A and B are shown apart, each in its own frame.
Chain A
Amino acid sequence: DIVMTQSPLSLPVTPGEPASISCRSSQSLLHSNGYNYLDWYVQKPGQSPQLLIYLGSDRASGVPDRFSGSGSGTDFTLKISRMEAEDVGVYFCMQGLQTPYTFGQGTKLDIK
């Protein structure tokens, strides 16, 4: 199975400041079609997870442009350009390339 490892696991951020979360996979997520099958999700308190970024860098519908995803192969990063109070939650990555699809441990993002 592909192992997904996130860091940090906890990230307090001052409103207006940037935030960055790393996700590494034990195998390359780059498909022969040129796409990286790496997604980012957030689970806000009391809610179901929601898709933020898919295929490594594509923002899902309705996601603010302060969220961006980058990386290829085994190293990926989610960046929030300016932290807002509504961004509090647990962020996790998922590889959708190979079954069983696997998830990172989650990074708890909150307000400093």
Chain B
Amino acid sequence: QVQLVQSGAEVKKPGASLRVSCKTSGYISATYAMNWVRQAPGQRFEWVGWISADGEITKSSQKFQGRVTLSRDTSANIVYLQVNSLRSADTAVYYCARDLGDGDGVSLDYWGQGSLVTVSS
């Protein structure tokens, strides 16, 4: 069965960097794009970024002003999210989510279990 298993909870200081991983199994990872979504406490879900199936194309929300890098190791079936210059507003649960989309749009058919990231001095 399809599984997306994320790395564990992290506590970071403001200004630090974070890398969250998402290991996929149960399907051919190199045939599906992946998204990252986060949910801060008490807030609605927020899209962070998208990476193509082959890892060649990435998109991220302009809100992050270049602080976000998405990558993937197709041989190991792992997708990564890196966020630099962390601030307290980045405290959230981060999810990877597989893209069911047809290329013209995005739907998220499988989600990881979530990785809690706390940014605090």
**A contacts, CB < 8 Å to B:** 31, 33, 35, 37, 39, 41, 48-51, 54-55, 60-61, 92, 94, 96-97, 99-106
Q: Is the interface of A mostly helix, strand, loop or mixed?
A: loop
Is B45 a contact partner of A92 (Cβ separation < 8 A)? Answer: yes
Name the CB-closest residue of B to A32.
B104
Partner of A96, one of B44, B101, B111: B101
Is A49 a contact partner of B104 (Cβ separation < 8 A)? Answer: no
Question: Does residue B46 face the partner (Cβ distance < 8 Å to A)?
Answer: yes
**B contacts, CB < 8 Å to A:** 35, 44-47, 50, 59, 61-63, 95, 97, 100-102, 104-114
Is A100 a contact partner of B108 (Cβ separation < 8 A)? Answer: no
Is B50 a contact partner of A99 (Cβ separation < 8 A)? Answer: yes
Is B107 a contact partner of A51 (Cβ separation < 8 A)? Answer: yes
